[in-house]
Amino acid sequence: MANHFSALKRARQTVKRTAQNRVHTSRFRTIMRRFREALAAGDKKAAEAQFRETVSAIDQAIRKGTIHRNAAARYKSRLSARLHALPAK
CATH 1.20.58.110, domain 5-85, yes or no: yes
Q: What are phi and psi of 87, to 5 degrees?
A: -70, 140
Using an 8 Å Cβ cutoff, are 32 and 54 in contact?
yes
Among candidates 54, 62, 60, which has minimal Cα distance to 79?
54
DSSP 24-40: HHHHHHHHHHHHHHHHH
Domain boundaries, the chain: 5-85
pLDDT in tens, 2-26: 789 999 999 999 999 999 999 999 9
Q: For residue 89, name the pLDDT band (cuts at 50, 70, 90).
A: low
pLDDT in tens, 38-74: 999 988 999 999 999 999 999 999 999 999 999 999 9
Rg of the Cα atoms in the chain: 18
What's the number of CA atoms in the CB half-sphere (13 Å) around residue 22? Answer: 6
